[in-house]
Amino acid sequence: MTDDPFVTHRDLLFTVAYEMLGSAADAEDIVQETWLRWADVDRAGVRDPRAYLVQIVTRQALNRLRTLSRQREEYVGEWLPEPLLTGPDVAEDVELAESVSIAMLTVLETLGPAERAVFVLREVFDTPYDEIAEAVGKEPAAVRQIASRARNHVAARRPRMEVGRAEQEAAVERFQAALTTGDLQGLLNVLAPDVVLVADGGGVVPAAIRPVSGAKTVARLLSRFTALAPGARVGTTWLNGAPALRIDPAGEFDTAVSLAVEGGRITRIYAIRNPHKTLPPRRAGAAPFAVAGPQAANLLFSLDAFRLVENKQRLPLPRESGQGYMESSCGKPV
């Protein structure tokens, strides 16, 4: 056991950075930079180590976010957050589960850097305005105004996450069953009429450049899954505090599929295919896999899927893995 405040609050620092950046790799870099700065601090003069460390992380994340914002403007296709493997217990903290969901992180991406920092610190961690002001370098009155704008902005775009765990799991299971059997009607039954499928290949692997909308269009595309070649495995897992799917051609984690559920139907499908964001296979507690097709993940989330299936193209997939961890607003590691 250690009394070092950095070790004590490391999970919190990672969570703040991850929610600000949407990238576990960048969040880890920020945490390491924070450690280096903390190691050089005269700690006798630090009144509140937790607030001081959060301030360092926030400032570093703001600098990184400004750089990333410019890079993401040139990103090929849709940009989605890097998913994190979590356990079912994360869903028990409703506020944390919503704040780290892929759907919410995607909404946060529409905020400016300062607005995102203020929103995360205030709405997720209930940080006092004066501490936020010191962290972002603004007056408390200005921070209150930023917080109000950010809150209204997010409220107008945030997904409705008021759905029970059992309802979420049931929708995911129905979707998985329909997907892996090519059941068009089953897909139509589980998809909301205005469902949107968003895929992120980062220009590295095939993925739809723009979102695909409408139950009929999405269902018709997904119903071709088994036709793309039998053999790939589709399993359930937990990503960012919610039940999700993983597609594993050749036994390797290839695609993470996060689903937003409302009223028992799926309203958003987020398919993260960029190999720099996908995660390694879960080592324990994974559900049994269903059988589908080895090239399915390669082609399924591409608008060219129908054309490519005729040519039977095969594309090499470079991979890079990463892992993360989170802490809830009450300081509970997850």
CB 19 within 8 A of CB 104: no
Q: Where are the domains of the chain?
A: 5-74+104-157, 165-311
Place of tokens 């299936």: 309
- Give the β-pairing of 265-272 and 191-200: parallel
| 180-219 tens-digit pLDDT | 999 999 999 999 999 999 999 999 888 888 999 999 999 9
Q: In Å, how far are 30, 60, 117 from 57, measured between CA atoms?
A: 6, 5, 10
Q: Is the pLDDT of residue 240 over 50?
A: yes
Q: Which residues pair with 244 in a beta bridge?
A: 237, 258
Integer Cα distance of 270 and 9 in angstroms? 31
pLDDT of 56:
96
Integer Cα distance of 251 and 248 in angstroms? 5
| 109-141 tens-digit pLDDT | 999 999 999 999 999 999 999 999 999 999 999
Integer Cα distance of 81 and 301 in angstroms? 17
Which CATH architecture fits 5-74+104-157? Up-down Bundle (1.20)
5-74+104-157 shares its CATH topology with 165-311:
no
Whether pTM exceeds 0.85: no
Alpha carbon 25 to its chain centroid, in Å, reads 13
pLDDT of 91:
64
pLDDT of 44:
87
Q: Is the pLDDT of residue 290 over 90?
A: no
pLDDT of 251:
65
- Residue 2's pLDDT band (cuts 50, 70, 90): low
| 216-231 tens-digit pLDDT | 999 999 998 877 746 7
* Higher-confidence position of 244 and 291: 244
pLDDT of 286:
33
Instruction: List, edge to edge, every strand of the sheet that includes 191-200.
Output: 212-213, 191-200, 265-272, 255-262, 242-248, 233-239, 290-291
Fold that domain 165-311 belongs to in CATH:
Nuclear Transport Factor 2; Chain: A, (3.10.450)
DSSP state of 123: I
* Higher-confidence position of 155 and 232: 155
| 44-80 tens-digit pLDDT | 889 999 999 999 999 999 999 988 888 888 899 999 9
| 11-48 tens-digit pLDDT | 999 999 999 999 999 999 999 999 999 999 998 889 99
Closest CA to 333 of 121, 96, 6: 96
